[in-house]
């Protein structure tokens, strides 16, 4: 079993399993789940909504906004 990782970058702590969004870069707005840091700790793997695991610069990542559940009607 791997030890959970907590990463803090620019005041934002990310943990394995956190919902993230690409806040910058060419894929801005992409949602996913934080997996792990790469060997170069300036990069991280995330699982994107389509199931793909991709690497992105840490400076592009931010916590995804919390979904709100509102009843309509």
Question: What is the pTM for the complete model shown?
Answer: 0.74
Number of domains forming the structure of the chain: 1
What CATH number is attached to the domain comprising 37?
2.30.30.30
Task: Answer whether residue 41 is part of any domain.
Answer: yes
Residue 26 located in a structural domain: yes
Burial-class residue 15 by CB neighbours within 10 Å (0-12, 13-18, 19+). exposed
Please state, in angstroms and rounded to a whole number, the distance separating the CA atoms of residues 61 and 37.
12
Domain that holds residue 35: 6-63
Evaluate if residue 10 carries a pLDDT over 70. no
Nearest to 4 by CA among 41, 36, 32: 36
Phi, psi of 31 (to 5 degrees): -95, 150
The answer to whether residue 69 sits within a structural domain is no
Mean pLDDT of 49-68: 90
Tell whether 30 is covered by a domain: yes
């Amino acid at each position: 079993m791997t030890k959970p990782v907590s990463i803090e970058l620019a005041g934002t702590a990310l943990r394995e399993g956190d919902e993230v969004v690409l806040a910058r870069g060419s894929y801005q707005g992409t949602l996913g789940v934080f997996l792990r840091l790469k060997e170069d700790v300036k990069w991280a793997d995330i699982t994107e909504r389509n199931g793909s695991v991709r690497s992105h610069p840490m400076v592009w990542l931010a916590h995804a906004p919390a979904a709100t559940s509102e009843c309509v009607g």
